[in-house]
Structure 1
């Protein structure tokens, strides 16, 4: 029975039992405590916990789920997978234990011809809650007396396995699990308490009947009493049932997963054997193939639900899944890109249940392929460095240091989980604690730096004290000048009653028109004046939520707490900032129009005349794409779209399709900024122009990478855009005048000039080499005998490169003929001194090694070097000591004994 047929039968059965069929929710849950939908009941939590009134008394669903807590176990067991489907039936104050148990038994054991799954009743075992004196005798009695399961196949288990709670005060209750006996070939007899490989759990029935007053842990909680409304929450693992009904060894061999596994085996030339015993020689490869099959499917489904690879949150989970799949294929011997081969296979396996993976495959594949491409570059750059670190650690018989792991992460983009895996393969441990410590230090430095820039000190207690009087009222949406009063003054980290001329302070007003930096928009500047004082506002921040703090300098007079003030924003600077902020929204909409909706915002910054915008995208933009983005943006500006702001509930905004910044926390009420309706509709608390034409113009400055899978565009807007274009025009005119050609011919003339320059440089290089070669014959006569070794030293001066010096040194060594000989040639290349030492076989036999001599010379030059015994190279920073360095080489030959 195929997976989509299992899902259909489930929904049909419970629909006939009066349940409302609820479509699967997204893998990206609205629950702020969860990254993903981790169980079938997650969408129903508000109803199960009585936070919301359910629109139905009975419901059923087949829910997409992602769990990654046991990601290291994927492929090793029959039951661990990251993506899975949970079939569930739910009752909200309607039926309870007897009906839930009866429904489950009927569906599992009814004949296939009658719409059931046709399982053999003799192979089903169940567990019920029994923990000391606490027993769910009601559930046991129903299973035994109504269903007819023998008492010996009803196993009592404790709180750890058979009691559900939310992890906090609220509803809870006992569970009853249903297990299927796969037979003697899979393990010992005696039920799930003896062997959970042979007896595999397929369905869990949760009887939510108690109010818990305190939950200290999964097994330690207080029961306050019974719930006034008892609920049912059940979950059947669709993949586990498919494994049984399809007669396969594990979930990776079911119809929605096995095709990817087979394709991976084909690409790698491996034979899949279903090995689950670690001692089996095929086990290691089989585990890797199962990891690939599982992770490719999970990546497909996550991207389908709008997740893009990134370095945090959901995006990091997706990135890790893709990288683990690619890494497993490399361990199987495939070093080229594999997702273009594997992802379409997973799409075809899943589209019967989720047709959107086919209709949206162009977007899904573009994101996945770009991530793999980026990761292959990361592997190429980091693997060599990791292998060097591993060899050094093995030689020293020490774990890979936290510093090495941190360097791989910070410099090469090598994720720590990949470092751990590759080190483990080499039989080496990693100082993970040291790595975490360095990461924490880096975060603390960044946070301290940010805090220092924002409000000058770390202690926010004084701000919390001021916030107790209420949040700052922001008036700047409607006016740029507001009357207000001083709530508090902070100087040198402490609250003070007044501040005099020349003092730098942090000022809190009861109302302010000054925009505090947020949402990527820079803070306003301006003046705060009052009776006898003038303050210049340089920055405005929110060190604690709800409180605007003005960084200001008292330019005239003295200001005191309680003083009445007139706060006036610099109107020109605000307007230019609004141009930039509205320009950011336009660029975002243009990116969606040109690249597609997966070009999601990852951050932004805008200030007067300038904007930058970070977005998720796997590769650099072509010149044509950049030109098109700029053109679409300026067409929107010219079209003079009205910029409207609306206040609405978060649910209403989401229903309208308003774009939100990933990872941002929003309240129940949000501000939506629209340009031409849904052409651009975003959640935004910033300030904007009234219509797009007031932006003036927008000029893209460039586009670059800001981390794997993320790009950045920068632009000037308004007068800054005009000045930038005017400056470029002036530069073009100047070049045209210098080269005596019209501007349209500049590219050809510059190309010709550069080609001629390159040719001239090559000719000069050839002449230098010939000059050096010509001098070689004369230089041989300068060699001197040093304790039986002929030593030739020569300073070639400035201009010769390291390759030229090496060629000269080797030529001189060959000209010196037989007998122990050493050549040391030095010069200055790119303003830095270079030394090359070459020794012949007789000199090396006499104990003279080029590497050791180079280190001696380089030490004097203030640098380092190394190489082999026959040829070595070194350098430094002090070219004035070249003569001393060459003399030291001669002395080292003399003192070799």
Structure 2
């Protein structure tokens, strides 16, 4: 049974269930959700977390889903075992205060044991072992009742295995797992009745957990660890959250050994074998690990890019970059030096695309991002190799045999150079790597990241006050700002630093909630409205920001200018109209520029972020390189032509399916409901958007693109002005052009040629000046060579040059060495000082080296006097320092060193 069919049967089982009622089949959410605790969705329940936490009211009592998930804490362990992976799919069924333990057990047991012909999975009951939390006798009784199994067939496990919490205060409860016995070849025989409280390590492969049923029944506080927390009491509503690993069930039903052998994974390994000429033997030797890394990371990277992630140096982008580079590096270690992602990723696309059609629809963008990152990494490998060579040279020159951990860490962290590659290349040089030092620095980095993540875990507590206000209201705040900028409402809640308050006075900073508001809350790239709110009792508030901290709630962050604010008072909201109109023009302009860039560069030029401010906007989009100037000109001309057409801007509410069918663009990472708002500029540009817009394109006046630049791998940023701000900019440009025309006595159209001519003449003059300067410098070379001192039979020139930079010092030293007699040992050391920096170059001829002298040693003799360092080869070495006050002492040290060597 292929993976797609297993997924289909799972959803159908719950949609069509008649025992507890049909479940709403919820499509997989994006891997990117706005959760302060998570980089990515890492469990099937994450999209439903607001319902479990009581932050939002669920729209259905029962749901089922197959959710895309990514877990990243164990990236470095991927491939080392067949259990670790980053991307996976979690099948789940959920009850929000509806059915509870008995219903969950019945539904799960029915699906796994139901014959294939009846739509089930047909697993043998004799191989299935339920487990319960040791302190949950209710679950034990229900498992016996539902399955007919004797008590000794049901495992009793402790908190570590069978109690669930989110790691923060909130709901928790005991679990039951369904374990599948894979047989004696996967672990020792066991007595089910004697197992507990922890699952023995040697049974983890034999007793494979395929399904976890979480019975949310308790409210937890002071969560200190997985096994250490306080139970406040029972939840007012009991919930069900189950998770079944699709890949685990797939390899059981497909008769495979592990997740890497299933139909959606193994084809990538097959392709990697073909490219590398090596064999995958499903074991644990190095090549097997690399094949598994490739299969996992290629799929994970593709799914992340598909959901809008682009490679970067922090957060989600950094995780994606690591995955892509680990895949490429693993193929390199398998012997593939050429580009590999164009061969591997389409294989994964064809398998995963059977379910996720966006992989085919957005393939141009996905592949462009992935292949550009591979090319960038190949360049990193080349430059990193140069840094590595310098590091190993320093180690060897000092007689060392170990590359310091901090150098290996710098190669990894700063230059993106993988530690495995550092180890491999160091071995080729006959060196070891201080792995302990490297691991220590890596752990320190992880600890800092964990501390940062832990600091963010209070985010759920922050929502409590908002939830209290929302629950008291009983309905969502009504936004009326599409139709008006002045509206009446009533104060429904006041939130201050300590939570919900009953009143606020003059000077207080508060968050005010009204039952209806024309103020737009920041979202979708559009900045929030500002303005004033006047209360019927005479109080006045200045609104500085507007946010929507939980779904359905709008809070006005305001300062009380006068009077007292209390709930129940009528309020008159007045939006700053000039600001609103300016922001709305910017938002409409962003849609237009997005459309124009997609027309000019292709469908891969997809929006990756934006900010719509009064009179200006920035627009980020996917691109593999700089946008040609001609394209920028064409885009600007296109959008300004649309402005002249004065196309009507209108909004419609429709289903997501209807919106996509109409050609509307949906942006990555945005959360859309079943009903969406589609904003159109005539019939030209259509996007899903909840923001405010100009009434027609003509109201924008003019759009001026200021320029574009890179903000990360594969992402470009355009900044632009709109309306009056664009006019003022153009007016200033006109004045500047007029001034230049007057100064250069040229017409405006002649200015580029005239300025280029001036620049070329300036460059020619600078070259001539440089030529004369170098000539004067070298003119002293003959005199210095002629005046070389005889130090123990060595012709030595030790000379100071003030005002000379590193390049000049090297040029002079090599010139003087070339002028020394060829039949005598000769050594030259020149020290220059310029702009607070000291430069040192030592150059020796062959006879001096035969006498045992080394340029490297001479530079090291100078280093302590100039607070510097340096090195090189026996014939030429150079260095630098920061203290010019002891240069004369340094030159004396050179003479002493040569004398001592002689």
Instruction: Report the equivalent of 1:373.
Output: 375
- Native 8 Å contact 1:308 1:598 kept in 2: no
Q: 1:391 to 1:61 in 2, by over 3 A?
A: farther
Alpha-carbon distance in 2 for matches of 1:294, 1:232: 30
Q: CA deviation at 1:789?
A: 3.8
CA deviations on 1:544-575 (whole Å, 9 max, x unpaired) are 9733469xxxxxxxx9999xxxx999999997
Alpha-carbon distance in 2 for matches of 1:320, 1:719: 45
Equivalent residues in 2 for 1:137-216, closer than 5 Å:
137-142=140-145, 145=148, 153-164=153-164, 170=171, 172-181=173-182, 183-190=183-190, 193-194=199-200, 195-201=202-208, 203-204=210-211, 206=213, 208=215, 211-214=217-220, 216=223
Q: CA deviation at 1:272?
A: 1.0
Residues 1:81 and 2:48 are matched in the alignment: no
Alpha-carbon distance in 1 for matches of 2:511, 2:45: 47
Residues 1:816 and 2:820 are matched in the alignment: yes
Q: CA deviation at 1:893?
A: 1.4
* Match among 705, 710, 724 for residue 700 of structure 1: 705
Alpha-carbon distance in 1 for matches of 2:607, 2:698: 25
- Native 8 Å contact 1:658 1:672 kept in 2: yes
* Match among 64, 71, 93 for residue 68 of structure 2: 64
Alpha-carbon distance in 1 for matches of 2:10, 2:423: 42
Q: 1:172 to 1:569 in 2, by over 3 A?
A: closer
Instruction: Report the equivalent of 1:358.
Output: 360
CA deviations on 1:500-543 (whole Å, 9 max, x unpaired) are xxxxx9999999x999997778999999xxxxxxxxx9x96799
Which shifted more, 631-640 or 372-381?
Answer: 372-381
Matched position secondary structure for 1:126: strand
* Match among 635, 641, 644 for residue 641 of structure 2: 635
* Match among 329, 341, 349 for residue 339 of structure 1: 341
Instruction: Report the equivalent of 1:429.
Output: 439
Residues 1:600 and 2:600 are matched in the alignment: no
Residues 1:303 and 2:337 are matched in the alignment: no
Matched position secondary structure for 2:176: strand
Alpha-carbon distance in 2 for matches of 1:667, 1:719: 36
Q: CA deviation at 1:668?
A: 14
Matched position secondary structure for 1:822: strand
- Native 8 Å contact 2:173 2:218 kept in 1: yes
Alpha-carbon distance in 2 for matches of 1:570, 1:871: 70
Instruction: Report the equivalent of 2:331.
Output: 329
Instruction: Report the equivalent of 2:111.
Output: 104
Instruction: Report the equivalent of 1:465.
Output: none
Residues 1:240 and 2:248 are matched in the alignment: yes
Which shifted more, 288-297 or 661-670?
Answer: 661-670
Q: CA deviation at 1:100?
A: 2.8
Alpha-carbon distance in 1 for matches of 2:690, 2:178: 47
Equivalent residues in 2 for 1:661-676, closer than 5 Å:
675-676=681-682
* Match among 254, 257, 270 for residue 265 of structure 2: 257
Alpha-carbon distance in 2 for matches of 1:359, 1:581: 26
Q: 1:730 to 1:166 in 2, by over 3 A?
A: closer
- Native 8 Å contact 2:177 2:209 kept in 1: no
CA deviations on 1:734-785 (whole Å, 9 max, x unpaired) are 8889999987787788878878887888788788888887876666433344
Q: CA deviation at 1:205?
A: 5.7
Which ranges of structure 1 fall in alignment gaps of 5 or more residues?
A: 277-282, 444-470, 480-486, 488-498, 500-504, 528-536, 551-558
Q: 1:654 to 1:392 in 2, by over 3 A?
A: farther
Alpha-carbon distance in 2 for matches of 1:777, 1:857: 24
Alpha-carbon distance in 1 for matches of 2:58, 2:545: 40
What TM-score, normalized to structure 1?
0.69
Alpha-carbon distance in 2 for matches of 1:370, 1:408: 20
Q: 1:40 to 1:843 in 2, by over 3 A?
A: closer
- Native 8 Å contact 2:144 2:151 kept in 1: no
Alpha-carbon distance in 2 for matches of 1:121, 1:224: 36
Instruction: Tell me the matched-pair count.
Output: 807
- Native 8 Å contact 1:3 1:256 kept in 2: yes
Matched position secondary structure for 1:201: strand
Matched position secondary structure for 1:271: coil
Alpha-carbon distance in 2 for matches of 1:508, 1:121: 60
Alpha-carbon distance in 2 for matches of 1:683, 1:598: 18
Matched position secondary structure for 2:188: coil
Q: 1:206 to 1:778 in 2, by over 3 A?
A: closer
- Native 8 Å contact 1:577 1:606 kept in 2: yes
Which shifted more, 706-715 or 589-598?
Answer: 589-598
Alpha-carbon distance in 1 for matches of 2:119, 2:658: 40
Equivalent residues in 2 for 1:577-726, closer than 5 Å:
583-584=589-590, 586-591=592-597, 594=600, 595-596=602-603, 599-604=606-611, 606=613, 610-642=616-648, 675-676=681-682, 679=685, 691-718=696-723, 721-722=726-727
Q: 1:165 to 1:426 in 2, by over 3 A?
A: closer
Q: CA deviation at 1:842?
A: 4.9
Q: CA deviation at 1:259?
A: 0.9
Alpha-carbon distance in 2 for matches of 1:508, 1:48: 28
- Native 8 Å contact 1:67 1:82 kept in 2: yes
Q: CA deviation at 1:38?
A: 3.9
Instruction: Report the equivalent of 1:455.
Output: none
Alpha-carbon distance in 2 for matches of 1:591, 1:793: 62
- Native 8 Å contact 2:604 2:622 kept in 1: no
Instruction: Report the equivalent of 2:196.
Output: none
Alpha-carbon distance in 2 for matches of 1:524, 1:132: 53
Alpha-carbon distance in 1 for matches of 2:255, 2:820: 80
Residues 1:839 and 2:844 are matched in the alignment: yes
- Native 8 Å contact 1:291 1:325 kept in 2: yes
- Native 8 Å contact 2:86 2:297 kept in 1: yes
Q: 1:752 to 1:642 in 2, by over 3 A?
A: same
Q: CA deviation at 1:361?
A: 1.7
Alpha-carbon distance in 1 for matches of 2:275, 2:308: 29
Alpha-carbon distance in 2 for matches of 1:831, 1:205: 67
CA deviations on 1:651-694 (whole Å, 9 max, x unpaired) are 99999999899889999999998755893657677x87654434
CA deviations on 1:852-888 (whole Å, 9 max, x unpaired) are 6557879989987654443344567999x9xx95896
Instruction: Report the equivalent of 2:891.
Output: 889
Q: 1:404 to 1:590 in 2, by over 3 A?
A: farther
The alignment yields a C-alpha RMSD, in angstroms, of 6.2
Instruction: Report the equivalent of 2:134.
Output: 131
Q: CA deviation at 1:291?
A: 1.6
Alpha-carbon distance in 2 for matches of 1:15, 1:540: 47
